[in-house]
Amino acid sequence: MNKEIEIMDTTLRDGEQMKGVSYSPQEKLTIAKILLEEVKVDRIEIASAKVSKGEEQSVAEIIDWAKKMNCVEKIEILGFVDKTESIDWINNLGGKVMNILSKGSMNHLTNQLRKTKEQHVQDIKETVAYANKKGITCNIYFEDWSQGMINSRDYVYYLLNSLQEESIKRFMLPDTLGILYSSQVSEFIKEILARYPNLHFDFHAHNDYGVATANTLIAVEAGIKGVHCTVNGMGERTGNAPLEEVVVGLHDFLKIKTGIEEKCLFHLSKTVEAFSGQRIAFNKPISGSNVFTQTAGIHADGDKKGNLYVTSLFPERFNRKRQYSLGKLSGKSNLEYNLEEIDIELTKAQKKRVLERIIELGDRKETITTGDLPYIISDVLETPQEKTFKLELCNIVTSMELRPIAVVKLLYKDKGKNKEMQLEESAQGDGGYDAFMNAIGKIAKKINYPLPILLDYTVNIPPGGKTDALVQCTITWGWQNHKTFITKGVNPDQVLAAIEATEKMLNIIAFQKKENKG
């Protein structure tokens, strides 16, 4: 097993083959910068040659930036066995590395290319020679290599025997259809490395059987020198080996040091989620929203008494925090952790009554967040919370030609000065809710009232819901000292659901300020 492993991320090429995903040039550049500057992967594959004008612009912008940063050799582009066309396309944009896509199985060679193995090797050699002439470094994919090893192993070795003396830096072995079991990965790679000890081999896993991460780690154990990943496991069908999982596996299981900055992985995952429009699964290792959340009361109690349910996979490694959910399985420790989050202190008797209500709500399958706690506390302790902010008017106008505009009127009860004020503002925005928030921002400035940062915004409609279905809008807010809280609104109108959630946010902040003073 090698002590150092090259990590190549192909989110911007193979990852973009996921259904419904298409990045703009600016989005590709942003992801490329995070991958190389913050996360610090070794190489990135950013596009396929000759795809479109938009792809050409993306490649040009990334390469221009990479030249300024003196890292253009870390930028790779997929090219084809077409002798000159792919190379000219890459060269004209300033690229320096091409990953040649060759055929790694007789099935693909005969039924797709319809050529002999001798013809294919000759075409590859001519392509490599032309690349060398243009000053472009070549790596080579053996597409469908896994089926090649299973059904036409002699052909795979014919390719390697014929190309091992060529100017090819890396031979890249993809399990294109994700069909290999871990023992096969180990067997095939060990066999190839024994035959060709002086060549550099990469392994490229796909996740069709859900074993891409495991297979990648097995490949490293078998002696592979480089692995390919995508952020969040993005990719065609079931995707590729997720970068964040592979990195943590290398660090924790194989004790291999990489240059990857773990603290930046979550930020990268969320950026790709936002740009791709593909939501990260709640239970996705490392980056899912539930990954560092304890639900059972016994777990929260164990953590409070001695971190009994904490492993080396702790959230701070990824710039995240452990959370303790509220619901029917909650215990006293779950409640105490959440009260600490919102800086509210209760007596032992009060905690007992609040916890009973939380369990009651959980039995009714209601979702309870930290942001709901002030309302539950107010209700349970029979001290009805008089709203500091009450939305009296909200008029939002949208049209095809003009930017949306919102007129907002809030009733503000300033208990410190014992007076009420009606505050009214109007503002434009990029959407109805954005216009509303801009108006709220103006009102907040008038009274010097701090507002949190909107971190996430999701809308849920019941399956099969019609045009009059109730919409639940859930908003995650970032508050002082890196704390977060969630508010929800329910309304048949999506924008009004978001506005309800925002009104709750304003009153939660006011409630916290009152409790802290008290």
If residue 457 lies in a helix (H) or strand (E), which one and from where to where?
A: strand 453-460
Beginning with the edge strand found earlier in the chain, give each strand of the sheet holding 405-414 in spatial order.
Answer: 389-397, 405-414, 419-428
Q: Among 143, 236, 341, 503, which one carries the catalytic annotation? A: 143
273 belongs to the catalytic site? no
∠ CA 314-276-471, rounded to 5°: 85
Q: What SS3 class is residue 169?
A: strand
Side chain identity, residue 486: I
Rounded to 5 degrees, what are φ and ψ at 227? -130, 155
First and final C-alpha spacing in the chain: 61
**What is the C-alpha separation between 99 and 140, in angstroms, rounded?**
5
Count of C-beta atoms within a 10 Å radius of residue 329: 16
Strands (E), 219-297: 226-229, 293-294
143 belongs to the catalytic site? yes
Q: What SS3 class is residue 364?
A: coil
- Write the CA distances from 328 to 113, 296, 302, 325, 498, integer angstroms: 60, 9, 18, 10, 27
Q: Among 13, 45, 236, 503, which one carries the catalytic annotation? A: 13
Instruction: Give the largest CA-CA distance in the chain.
Output: 90
Among candidate residues 482, 480, 500, the one with its CA nearest the CA of residue 490: 500
Burial classification of residue 118, based on how many CB atoms lie within 10 Å of its CB (0-12 exposed, 13-18 middle, 19 or more buried): exposed
Crossing angle for the helix pair 53-68 and 25-33, to the nearest 10 degrees: 30
Q: Which residue has the tokens 């990852």?
A: 15
Among candidate residues 86, 25, 12, the one with its CA nearest the CA of residue 53: 25
Among candidate residues 432, 418, 358, 363, the one with its CA nearest the CA of residue 386: 418
Write out the catalytic residue numbers.
13, 143
